Amino acid sequence: MKNNDQGATSSELIGECAPQGPVPGDCGEGLHLWSVTYSQVMENNVSHNVGGILVTDDPPYGPSHDNVIARNVIKDNAEDCGITLPSHNPDATKDPSKGGVYNNTIVGNDSENNGGAGIGMFASAPDAASYDNTIAQNRVKGNGEGGINIHSHASGQNVSGNVIVGNTIAGNGKDPDSKSYGPNGISLFSDSVSQSVTITGNRFRNEEYGIWISGPFTPTLSKNHFAESVKYQVGP
């Protein structure tokens, strides 16, 4: 999947191309799972698109859940994230049958040199939800923003229950939404709502900060390994 950019540079950004608050629009991705359940996306090369692999719940069609994204190479997508799981649906926290991005497994992928985060779970509109996803055993390297980012931007959102386990994270950039002071491996940001996440068994190197926390975000941390030059955990 290469060289997709249609709609992303248009002067009239409407429909799925329109930005969702602080979250970019959905055009120009290599693969887009829009309200998809129980699928497998495996062993693809996704490169030189606007963004890599996108999993969304854009209304009016419903949630994306129980998908497996495994052993893909996602690299050199210049503008957006490598793998993105954003919720845009205002029904997501009220009715999981209508919206939400949840119970997805992102395992064994190589996400490198993308313009945004290597892997991201985001909620944009009030009551949107990207939760209970597992991010395991991925290689996340050299991306323009934080390696693995989780953001909650408005009231009533749910980005809790995500698990980040056994990933190798190196040489990524700053996360502008959380206002990280320097390059960071994992960035956790919540505007107002208390959120939680489990982070265990990850390896960090060539980052200024390993785990950056901004706002009311409570991580459960265990068995992570930080190279000597990486600061363990800092927030503003």
- Does residue 13 fall inside a structural domain? no
pTM: 0.91
Distance (Å, whole) CA 20 – CA 186: 22
CATH code of the domain containing 204: 2.160.20.10
What six digits make up the tokens of 36? 């998809």
pLDDT for 54: 94
How many separate domains does the chain show?
1
- Does residue 235 fall inside a structural domain? no
What are the pLDDT digits (tens) for 123-182?
988 999 999 999 999 999 999 999 999 999 999 999 999 999 999 999 999 999 888 889
- Does residue 4 fall inside a structural domain? no
Domain that includes residue 61, residue range: 29-228
Distance (Å, whole) CA 174 – CA 190: 16
- Does residue 148 fall inside a structural domain? yes
- Does residue 169 fall inside a structural domain? yes
Residue ranges of the chain with per-residue pLDDT less than 50: 7-8, 10-14, 23
- Does residue 233 fall inside a structural domain? no
Spell out a b/e string for 176-215, using b for 16 or more CB atoms within 10 Å of the CB, else e: ebbebeebbbbbbbbbebebbbebeebbbbebbbbbbbbb
pLDDT for 183: 94
Phi, psi of 128 (to 5 degrees): -75, 160
Distance (Å, whole) CA 138 – CA 116: 16
Question: Burial, 171: exposed, middle or buried (Cβ in 10 Å; 0-12, 13-18, 19+)?
Answer: middle
Which residues are CB-contacts of 41 (< 8 A; sequence separation ≥ 6)? 31, 33, 53, 67, 68, 69, 70, 72
Cis peptide before 86 (omega within 30 of 0): no
- Does residue 7 fall inside a structural domain? no
- Does residue 2 fall inside a structural domain? no
H-state helical runs in the chain: none
Distance (Å, whole) CA 197 – CA 90: 22
pLDDT for 87: 95
